[in-house]
């Protein structure tokens, strides 16, 4: 680990990976007969070229920060939480139930309760696989994946049979009361006189995500509990020897993880849609895994990786709109290449870079 | 190509600044896919016909998930497309929220009513078209048992089923009608495998004519019916050609005409409010072409044409399921 300076590990290697991924994506775009330079131009312009683009990019990034942090916290305890998708969906249900339960007078009153609702529902959905892992040894990867399907089926049932507006044909809840409306970027920046696109979905949940980043950093590196989580993640036997109880750490790490995923509902359900629809998560739970991998499970890395994936998502939608030949599946291919290069093929870049730094060190020394 | 795109982009920008008079129309295609051989494809064909006729161009986007509706709609409106046609009932609540934010953009929604000053709501009298194909099914059936496969279980699809059942009973009061829905979520619009399974079950219960009102799922229903040697009835688009000689007829719902109409009228002749496309307006009907002419005997044709005239004249009233959420005809 100390063969290279930290900045190279955190920034240089992901950057090289990203460039490689984009080069290969460019070849794919070339293959379908489009101009890759033009495509990347549309992608970047659509994602960061206007306040509308930024509004959507950061909105998607907010989703990815929550799910990325969720995966990261579990990672530190060496638990692979694949269930972000389901936990976020159930968290969204919690947010929706809170938002619909009372005719809220003001969002400042509604938000704390909605946060509680999302976190508790998300954590509860993570609690069952965590318990099964800690007590029965059922592998958490398998159980959390299965819980994604259960969550999706449960939501369909509730939206079709229980929560649907009577007389409506669409499986969605009623619109939330006005008092549960979270200020969006247009309103918040308007207080300071900064102009912003009026309809972009970016809202104050972004600030909540930033606070969560800081909170996770403080938890993992500045508290005794965080130390225990990391110790348990590095070596279970050593942790047990030091008096750390595996059951407690497994449960706590997964509950925090599920709660963070559940908070995504604040952004997607309460902040944007203002009602609960089927598939409000849109795959963000799975993108969170890539975000956590790319961000090295560090909140700052997660934040940056989430913005990158926000750019890819929003830019991808623009690209699909502007160049019809680039389909939704093409955008998935590009995202998959980024994940492939940053996750699976990471050592391909790391080893030569490490060698380079070793050689530089020798020369200097 | 890219130069052309840029040129058109610049032209569109100029047109926009000149009061949006020459903007391209837009089409938002619903879940289930553009080439579902049914509802969405009918809309696409209408847009294609408009291109062939006028040489114009239009913007198009295809929805991929429920949560994406709002972004797609806003993106379409902000791109300067005008008028914008939105397909499918599921977009109603989103359009109700989005339309007031773009007062200069004219929207048209198909299959649902949205009460906004810049929205035209286009609805069809599916019960009337379904009644006619139901009559044909009742006359073509040898077992006296016919069936219906719906897509998503919503009042709109029950309106198809109820009209169909009334038509069957009109020619054969003793007929048995089996009715099944594919699912309760939008995924039910694009599940041909499940559609085929349901059809097989219905065949085992004695059905020998099956009517599919299920979007892309219907492809599986028609395929299974053809494989098992029974007759089927297509929906929305003319699907007779899919299995020549094995598709009895198709309940045509002229979504293509609706799209063509909105595109042709453009912004200047846009008419907000509710537009009902019924049998009289040729909004619905049954398909007769070279693929099914041998299946429809002259007597059958005469009976259906008589009923069609009677419905248009108001002598036959086909009950609309959505008017009171119930159907006078028993189905199972």
Which of B2, B64, B70 shows the shortest C-beta gap to A38? B2
- Is residue A146 domain-resident? yes
> Is the CB of residue A60 less than 8 Å away from at least one CB of chain B?
no
Confidence (pLDDT) at B9 = 47
Confidence (pLDDT) at B68 = 83
**Are A321 and B79 in contact (CB < 8 Å)?**
yes
- Among chain A residues, CA nearest to B322: A167
CA atoms of A163 and A159, how far apart (whole Å) = 5
Domain of residue A292, residue span: 35-324
Percentage of residues of chain A with pLDDT beyond 70: 99
User: Which residue, among A166, A169, A175, would best test binding to B if mutated, counting the most B CBs under 10 Å from its CB?
Assistant: A169
Residues of B with CB below 8 A from A38's CB? 2
Residues of A with CB below 8 A from B186's CB? 171, 278
Confidence (pLDDT) at A141 = 95
Residues of B with CB below 8 A from A281's CB? 67
Whether B96 contacts B116, CB under 8 Å: yes
**Are B66 and A168 in contact (CB < 8 Å)?**
no
**Single pTM value for the model:** 0.84
- Among chain B residues, CA nearest to A321: B61
A302 CA: distance to closest CA in chain B (Å):
24
- Is residue A319 domain-resident? yes
**Are A160 and B184 in contact (CB < 8 Å)?**
yes
Confidence (pLDDT) at A282 = 87
**Are B71 and A56 in contact (CB < 8 Å)?**
yes
**Are A282 and B65 in contact (CB < 8 Å)?**
yes
CA atoms of B283 and B289, how far apart (whole Å) = 18
Token pair for B330: 């028993």
- Among chain A residues, CA nearest to B70: A273
Stronger pLDDT, B327 or B4, i.e. the higher one: B327
Confidence of residue A361 (pLDDT cuts 50, 70, 90): confident
- Is residue A257 domain-resident? yes
CATH code: domain of residue A167: 1.10.3470
B119 CA: distance to closest CA in chain A (Å):
19
CA neighbor of A122 nearest in space, from A75, A67, A72, A61: A67
For residue A296, pLDDT over 90 is answered with no
User: Which residue, among B6, B71, B76, would best test binding to A if mutated, counting the most A CBs under 10 Å from its CB?
Assistant: B71
> Is the CB of residue A40 less than 8 Å away from at least one CB of chain B?
no
Which of A171, A199, A280 shows the shortest C-beta gap to B185? A171
A269 CA: distance to closest CA in chain B (Å):
9
> Is the CB of residue A166 less than 8 Å away from at least one CB of chain B?
no
> Is the CB of residue B128 less than 8 Å away from at least one CB of chain A?
no
- The overall average pLDDT reported for chain B is 88
Which of B67, B71, B184 shows the shortest C-beta gap to A156? B184
Whether B111 contacts B88, CB under 8 Å: yes
CA atoms of B61 and B75, how far apart (whole Å) = 10
Q: Which residues pair with B47 in a beta bridge?
A: none
Give the model confidence (pLDDT) of A325-334 as tens digits.
Answer: 777 777 788 8
**Are A324 and B60 in contact (CB < 8 Å)?**
yes
For residue B285, pLDDT over 90 is answered with yes
Which of A170, A198, A201 shows the shortest C-beta gap to B90? A170
Residues of B with CB below 8 A from A52's CB? 78
Tally C-beta pairs within 8 A across A and B: 61
Could you give the C-alpha distances from A51 to A48, A189, A199, A322, in angstroms and in order?
A: 7, 11, 10, 18
A146 CA: distance to closest CA in chain B (Å):
20
Specify the DSSP class assigned to residue A133.
Answer: I
Give the model confidence (pLDDT) of B148-196 as tens digits.
Answer: 999 988 888 999 999 999 999 999 999 999 999 998 877 888 899 999 9
- The domains found in chain B, sorted by start residue, are 2-125+256-277 (3.40.50.2300), 126-252+284-324 (3.40.50.2300)
B141 CA: distance to closest CA in chain A (Å):
32
Confidence of residue B258 (pLDDT cuts 50, 70, 90): very high
Stronger pLDDT, A345 or A280, i.e. the higher one: A280
Give the DSSP per-residue string, A226-273.
HHHHHHHHH-HHHHHHTT--HHHHHHHHHHHHHHHHHTHHIIIIIIII
Residues of B with CB below 8 A from A32's CB? none
CA atoms of B43 and B240, how far apart (whole Å) = 18
For residue B214, pLDDT over 90 is answered with yes
- Among chain B residues, CA nearest to A156: B185
Confidence (pLDDT) at B22 = 61
- Is residue A23 domain-resident? no
Q: Name the least confident of A79-83, A101-105, A163-167, A249-253.
A: A163-167
- Is residue A306 domain-resident? yes
Give the model confidence (pLDDT) of A156-213 as tens digits.
Answer: 889 888 888 887 778 889 999 999 999 999 999 999 988 998 888 999 999 999 999 9
Confidence of residue B299 (pLDDT cuts 50, 70, 90): very high
User: Which residue, among B26, B31, B93, B112, would best test binding to A if mutated, counting the most A CBs under 10 Å from its CB?
Assistant: B93
Confidence of residue B331 (pLDDT cuts 50, 70, 90): low
> Is the CB of residue A171 less than 8 Å away from at least one CB of chain B?
yes
Stronger pLDDT, A329 or B298, i.e. the higher one: B298
Confidence (pLDDT) at B19 = 41
For residue B13, pLDDT over 70 is answered with no
- Residue B207 makes CB contacts below 8 A (sequence gap 6+) with B143, B145, B146, B147, B178, B230
* Count of structural domains, chain A: 1
> Is the CB of residue B84 less than 8 Å away from at least one CB of chain A?
no
Give the model confidence (pLDDT) of A34-62 as tens digits.
Answer: 888 998 899 899 999 999 999 999 999 99
- The overall average pLDDT reported for chain A is 91
A341 CA: distance to closest CA in chain B (Å):
26
A49 CA: distance to closest CA in chain B (Å):
15
Confidence (pLDDT) at B244 = 93
> Is the CB of residue A181 less than 8 Å away from at least one CB of chain B?
no
CA atoms of A203 and A59, how far apart (whole Å) = 7
> Is the CB of residue B323 less than 8 Å away from at least one CB of chain A?
no
For residue B276, pLDDT over 80 is answered with yes
- Among chain B residues, CA nearest to A197: B78
Confidence (pLDDT) at B31 = 81
Confidence (pLDDT) at B277 = 93
**Are A275 and B71 in contact (CB < 8 Å)?**
no
Confidence (pLDDT) at A130 = 97
- Is residue A340 domain-resident? no
**Are A282 and B68 in contact (CB < 8 Å)?**
yes
Average pLDDT over residues A245-253: 95
Which of A56, A169, A199 shows the shortest C-beta gap to B101? A199
- Residue B75 makes CB contacts below 8 A (sequence gap 6+) with A317, A321, B61
CA neighbor of B145 nearest in space, from B228, B197, B208, B226: B208
Give the model confidence (pLDDT) of A3-22 as tens digits.
Answer: 777 777 777 888 888 889 88
Q: What are the percentages of helix, strand and coil residues in chain A, rounded to 5?
A: 75, 0, 20
Confidence (pLDDT) at A321 = 84
First to last CA, chain B: 56
Q: Name the least confident of A329-333, B13-17, B165-169, B222-226.
A: B13-17
Which of A201, A278, A317 shows the shortest C-beta gap to B185? A278
- Among chain B residues, CA nearest to A167: B155
Which of B59, B64, B74 shows the shortest C-beta gap to A328? B64
Residues of A with CB below 8 A from B27's CB? none
- Is residue A136 domain-resident? yes
Which of A161, A199, A282 shows the shortest C-beta gap to B74? A199
Whether B248 contacts B136, CB under 8 Å: yes
Q: Name the least confident of A257-261, B64-68, B126-130.
A: B64-68
- Is residue A337 domain-resident? no
Token pair for A178: 């006005």
Confidence of residue B14 (pLDDT cuts 50, 70, 90): very low
Q: Name the least confident of A12-16, A116-120, A260-264, B127-131.
A: A12-16
Interface ipTM = 0.75
Stronger pLDDT, B199 or B268, i.e. the higher one: B199
């Amino acid at each position: 680990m100390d063969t290279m300076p930290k900045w190279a590990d955190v920034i240089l290697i992901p950057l090289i990976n990203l460039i490689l991924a984009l080069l290969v994506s460019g070849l794919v775009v070339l293959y379908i007969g489009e101009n890759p330079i033009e495509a990347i131009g549309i992608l970047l312009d659509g994602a960061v070229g206007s306040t509308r683009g930024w509004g959507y990019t950061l909105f998607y990034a907010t989703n990815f920060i929550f799910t990325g942090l969720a995966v990261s916290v579990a990672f530190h305890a060496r638990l692979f939480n694949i269930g972000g998708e389901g936990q976020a969906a159930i968290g969204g249900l919690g947010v929706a139930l809170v938002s619909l339960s009372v005719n809220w007078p003001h969002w400042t009153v509604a938000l704390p309760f909605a946060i509680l609702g999302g976190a508790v529902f998300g954590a509860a959905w993570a609690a069952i696989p965590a318990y099964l892992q800690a007590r029965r040894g059922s592998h958490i990867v398998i159980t959390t994946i299965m819980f994604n399907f259960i969550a999706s089926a449960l939501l369909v049932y509730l939206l079709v049979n229980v929560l649907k507006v009577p007389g409506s044909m669409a499986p969605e809840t009623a619109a939330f009361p006005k008092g549960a409306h979270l200020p969006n970027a247009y309103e918040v920046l308007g207080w300071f006189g900064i102009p912003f696109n009026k309809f972009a979905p970016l809202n104050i949940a972004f600030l909540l995500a930033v606070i969560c980043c800081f909170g996770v950093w403080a938890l993992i590196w500045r508290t005794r509990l965080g130390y225990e989580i990391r110790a348990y993640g590095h070596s279970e036997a050593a942790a047990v020897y030091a008096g750390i109880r595996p059951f407690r750490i497994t449960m706590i790490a997964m509950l925090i993880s599920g709660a963070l995923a559940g908070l995504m509902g604040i952004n997607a359900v309460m902040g944007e849609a203002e009602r609960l629809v089927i598939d409000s998560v849109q795959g963000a739970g799975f993108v969170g895994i890539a975000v956590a991998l790319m961000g090295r499970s560090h909140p700052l890395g997660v934040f940056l990786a989430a913005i990158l994936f926000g750019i890819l998502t929003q830019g991808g939608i623009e690209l699909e709109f502007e160049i019809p030949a680039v389909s939704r599946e093409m955008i998935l291919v590009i995202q998959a290449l980024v994940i492939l290069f940053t996750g699976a093929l990471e050592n391909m870049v790391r080893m030569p870079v490490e060698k380079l730094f070793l050689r530089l060190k020798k020369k200097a020394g | 190509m890219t130069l052309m795109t840029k040129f058109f982009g610049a032209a569109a920008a100029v047109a926009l600044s000149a009061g949006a008079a020459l903007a391209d129309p837009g089409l938002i295609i619903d879940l289930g896919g553009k080439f579902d051989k049914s509802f969405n494809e009918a809309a696409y064909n209408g847009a294609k016909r408009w291109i062939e006729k006028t040489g114009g161009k239009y913007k198009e986007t295809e929805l991929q998930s429920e949560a994406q509706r709002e972004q797609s709609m806003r993106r379409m409106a902000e791109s300067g497309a005008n008028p914008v046609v939105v397909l499918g009932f599921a977009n109603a609540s989103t359009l109700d929220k989005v339309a007031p934010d773009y007062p200069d953009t004219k929207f048209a929604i198909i299959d649902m009513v949205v009460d906004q000053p810049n929205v035209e709501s286009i609805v069809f009298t599916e019960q009337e078209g379904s009644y006619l194909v139901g009559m044909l099914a009742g006359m073509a059936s040898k077992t006296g048992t016919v069936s219906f496969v719906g897509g998503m279980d919503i009042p709109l699809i029950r309106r198809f089923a109820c009209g169909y059942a009334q038509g069957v009973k009109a020619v054969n009061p003793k007929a048995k009608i089996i009715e099944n829905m594919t699912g309760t979520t939008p995924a039910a619009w694009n599940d041909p495998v499940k559609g085929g399974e349901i059809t097989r079950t219905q065949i085992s219960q004695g059905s020998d004519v099956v009517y599919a009102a299920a979007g892309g799922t219907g492809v599986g229903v028609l395929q299974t019916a053809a494989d098992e040697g029974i007759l089927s009835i297509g929906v929305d688009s003319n699907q007779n050609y899919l299995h020549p000689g094995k598709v009895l007829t198709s309940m045509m719902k002229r979504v293509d005409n609706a799209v063509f109409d909105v595109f042709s009228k453009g912004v200047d002749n846009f008419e907000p409010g509710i537009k009902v496309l019924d049998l009289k307006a040729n909004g619905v009907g049954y398909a007769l072409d070279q693929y099914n002419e041998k299946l429809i005997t002259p007597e059958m044709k005469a009976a259906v044409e008589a009923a069609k005239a009677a419905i248009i004249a108001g002598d036959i009233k086909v009950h609309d399921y959505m008017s009171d959420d119930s159907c006078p005809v028993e189905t199972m």
